[in-house]
Amino acid sequence: MGSSNTENINKKSIALLFPGQGSQVVGMGKDFFEKFEHIRVYYEKANDILGYDIKSLIFNGPAETLAQTEYTQPSVFLTSYIIFKCLEKHCPNITDYIKFTAGHSLGEYTALCVSGALTFEDALKIVSIRGKVMAEVSKENPGGMVAILGVDKDEVMKLCGEVRSTGMIVEPVNFNTPQQIVVAGEVSGIEKLQEILNQRKIRNIKLNVSGAFHSSLMNKAQKIFSETLDKVIINNAFIPIIMNYDAKAHVIREEILENLKQQINHPVLWEDTIKYMVENKTEVFIEVGVSKVLSGMLKKVFPEKIILTTENLETFESCCNFIKENIIRS
């Protein structure tokens, strides 16, 4: 937790952050399922909607299946959503104190659901279709992703330019922090990029993903998925969502739809998303899900902010206690 003075917290001062693909682990959320009866109905609904036993997959694995895009996306969405429902039950009226929501890539759908733009049922159907479409397109256009650490945006652009000059596709796709940028591209392009990075002793981590998400290699997925989005009922949101595509706050259904369509093959502007929230007087950030990735990135850039996590029952309880003592004061 950061060192911000709790006296500065005004009524609407909380931002909820929802993690995306890559945060999945076998057994995630099982401790919440065993302790809180009211969330069990969501697993039953999910099994019915998806047509397979997602609860068993999440709790028991195998990890290889859970890591497949078409299963990862509904699993991560469901887990973050049920943790939010626990938060809502244990901190009554918490939604009155939320200034913004945002989610990283897939996490944007949880943010939309919590903000009232999508129903739980529709959001789950959409993320399931999204996962399948992205997986199919990735098989046709194999790609990869690599996180580059310790160099700025301009340097990453130059490095990608070097690889592109040899005729291979590589593009920056996740602007996470000033010093952490993810690049996606075709397999040969990512291999060439890593070769250059290693030669120059620039730290990099190959991500365990099956495709070049948020890049132009997802153009076909974008076209197919947009047709799905056009059939879904999207409501005006009652909490503003800072969206990945333009890093601006949205509550109007038409704007939300357009941003969702663009998100799948355009970069995630996460650094700008967080900056927007900070500039608009957000004091408390809660990462809702089993991940600490988003909160970890946030601490590096804004260590003075109050940053809470919910990755297990212990941190969830600490989070609830903080909210009750410092924000939802009677």
Give the pair of three-digit tokens for residue 274.
Answer: 């967080």
For residue 6, pLDDT over 70 is answered with no
Could you give the number of structural domains in the chain? 2
Instruction: Please compute the mean of the pLDDT values over residues 154-176 and round it to a whole number.
Output: 97
Q: What is the CATH number of the domain that holds 158?
A: 3.30.70.250
Instruction: Please compute the mean of the pLDDT values over residues 123-144 and round it to a whole number.
Output: 96
Q: Is residue 200 part of a domain?
A: yes
Q: What is the CATH number of the domain that holds 74?
A: 3.40.366.10
Q: Note whether 118 and 151 are same-domain residues.
A: no
On average, the pLDDT of the chain sits at 95
Q: Note whether 21 and 96 are same-domain residues.
A: yes
Q: Could you list the active site residues?
A: 105, 214
Q: Which of 192, 210, 228 is the last residue of a domain?
A: 210
Q: Note whether 151 and 82 are same-domain residues.
A: no
Predicted local confidence at residue 328, as pLDDT: 83
Q: Note whether 127 and 149 are same-domain residues.
A: no
Predicted local confidence at residue 8, as pLDDT: 55
Q: Is residue 282 part of a domain?
A: yes
Dihedral of the CA atoms 184, 186, 191, 193 (nearest 10)? -50
Instruction: Please compute the mean of the pLDDT values over residues 93-109 and round it to a whole number.
Output: 96
Predicted local confidence at residue 209, as pLDDT: 84
Q: Note whether 192 and 292 are same-domain residues.
A: no
Q: Note whether 129 and 264 are same-domain residues.
A: yes
Q: Is residue 114 part of a domain?
A: yes
Q: Is residue 1 part of a domain?
A: no
Q: Note whether 271 and 186 are same-domain residues.
A: no
Q: Note whether 228 and 148 are same-domain residues.
A: no
Q: Which of 210, 226, 245 is the last residue of a domain?
A: 210
Q: Is residue 34 part of a domain?
A: yes
For residue 1, pLDDT over 90 is answered with no
Of all residues in the chain, what percent carry a pLDDT higher than 70?
Answer: 97
Range of the domain at 174: 142-210
For residue 4, pLDDT over 60 is answered with no
Q: Is residue 195 part of a domain?
A: yes
Instruction: Please compute the mean of the pLDDT values over residues 210-225 and round it to a whole number.
Output: 96
For residue 17, pLDDT over 70 is answered with yes
Q: Note whether 56 and 181 are same-domain residues.
A: no
Which residues make Cβ contacts (< 8 Å) with residue 164, sequence separation at least 6? 170, 189
Q: Which of 168, 195, 210 is the last residue of a domain?
A: 210
Band (pLDDT 50/70/90 cuts) for residue 280 is very high
Q: Note whether 195 and 227 are same-domain residues.
A: no
185-200 pLDDT, tens digit per residue, is 999 999 999 999 999 9
Predicted local confidence at residue 11, as pLDDT: 74
Predicted local confidence at residue 329, as pLDDT: 72
Collapsed DSSP state (helix, strand, coil) of residue 261:
helix
Q: Note whether 188 and 246 are same-domain residues.
A: no
Distance CA 140, CA 217 (A): 10
Contact 323, 309 (CB under 8 A): no
307-320 pLDDT, tens digit per residue, is 999 999 999 999 99
Band (pLDDT 50/70/90 cuts) for residue 12 is confident
For residue 109, pLDDT over 60 is answered with yes
Q: Is residue 155 part of a domain?
A: yes
Distance CA 291, CA 287 (A): 7
Reduce the secondary structure of the chain to three states and give it as a string.
CCCCCHHHCCCCCEEEEECCCCCCCCCCCHHHHHHCHHHHHHHHHHHHHHCCCHHHHHHHCCHHHHCCHHHHHHHHHHHHHHHHHHHHHHCCCHHHHEEEEEECCCHHHHHHHHCCCCCHHHHHHHHHHHHHHHHHHHHHCCEEEEEEECCCHHHHHHHHHHHHCCCCCEEEEEEEECCEEEEEEEHHHHHHHHHHHHHCCCCEEECCCCCCCCCHHHHHHHHHHHHHHHCCCCCCCCCCEECCCCCCEECCHHHHHHHHHHHCCCCECHHHHHHHHHHCCCCEEEECCCCCHHHHHHHHHCCCCEEEECCCHHHHHHHHHHHHHHCCCC
For residue 210, pLDDT over 90 is answered with no
Q: Note whether 123 and 233 are same-domain residues.
A: yes
26-81 pLDDT, tens digit per residue, is 999 999 999 999 999 999 999 999 999 999 999 999 999 999 999 999 999 999 99
φ and ψ of 163, to 5 deg: -70, -40
